[in-house]
Amino acid sequence: MLLRTPDAQGAVLFREEGCALIAGTTAFMASAVSEGTDTARARFGRYARTLLERHPSLASVAASHPPGHRAWSRLGDVDPAGATAQQLALLEAFTEAGTCSAAEFAHGWWEARRVSRTNGERARGALGDLLDEVFMFLEDYEVDPDLTEPGDLDDAGLRTAVRATWEAFRRDTADRNRP
């Protein structure tokens, strides 16, 4: 069965039980697969392995549509030319070097996050958790002081929260890498 949007922006093909292929414009795909195409492909690969006995054909579908990027779990794995590396550089500049204001950090982070998602960059494990935690802090921060609501982090609160999370990540990472 094939479903197509009325404006021909996207389509969903149901090839067989347990499997649907989605295609469309960038805007359609962003709405249909909000976590990103690479994450969806990786998730489908895990799904296909789980259902291998019941639906063996899913394995070949998953193999035909692998993620374009691998998921990084360690700082050393991150592509230095990628947007995730920009996020990590912003963390350093904001928390350690002090060369980045809270507003610059927020604007830079959002831009780098958007680019990393567009490029299919993925992080998992402790690195993914770090990026998610910083994202949540920025959700509670308003760059424009006139738009601040009760409970929002101010510049100092954002720096304190992000610094504590960044330091805990680095400490935990160093502990795991000790022989």
On whether both 153 and 103 belong to a single domain, the answer is yes
How far is residue 68's CA from residue 119's CA, in Å, rounded to a whole number? 9
- What pLDDT is attached to residue 177? 57
Q: What is the pLDDT along the chain (179 residues), one digit of tens a residue?
A: 888 999 999 998 887 777 788 889 988 888 888 777 777 877 788 888 888 888 888 888 888 887 776 678 888 889 899 999 999 999 999 998 789 999 999 999 999 999 988 887 888 889 999 999 999 999 999 999 888 888 899 999 999 999 999 999 999 877 665 55
Residue where one domain finishes, among candidates 25, 41, 68: 68
pTM, full prediction: 0.65
Question: Where residue 131 sits, what CATH number does that domain have?
Answer: 1.20.120.650
* Predicted pLDDT of residue 37: 77
What's the CA gap between 154 and 92, in Å, rounded? 19
Same domain assignment for residues 10 and 81: no
User: How many domains does the chain fold into?
Assistant: 2
- Domain containing 76: what range? 72-176
Contact of 45 with 61, CB cutoff 8 Å: no
Task: Based on the fold, state whether residues 95 and 64 are members of the same structural domain.
Answer: no
Place of tokens 């610059």: 104
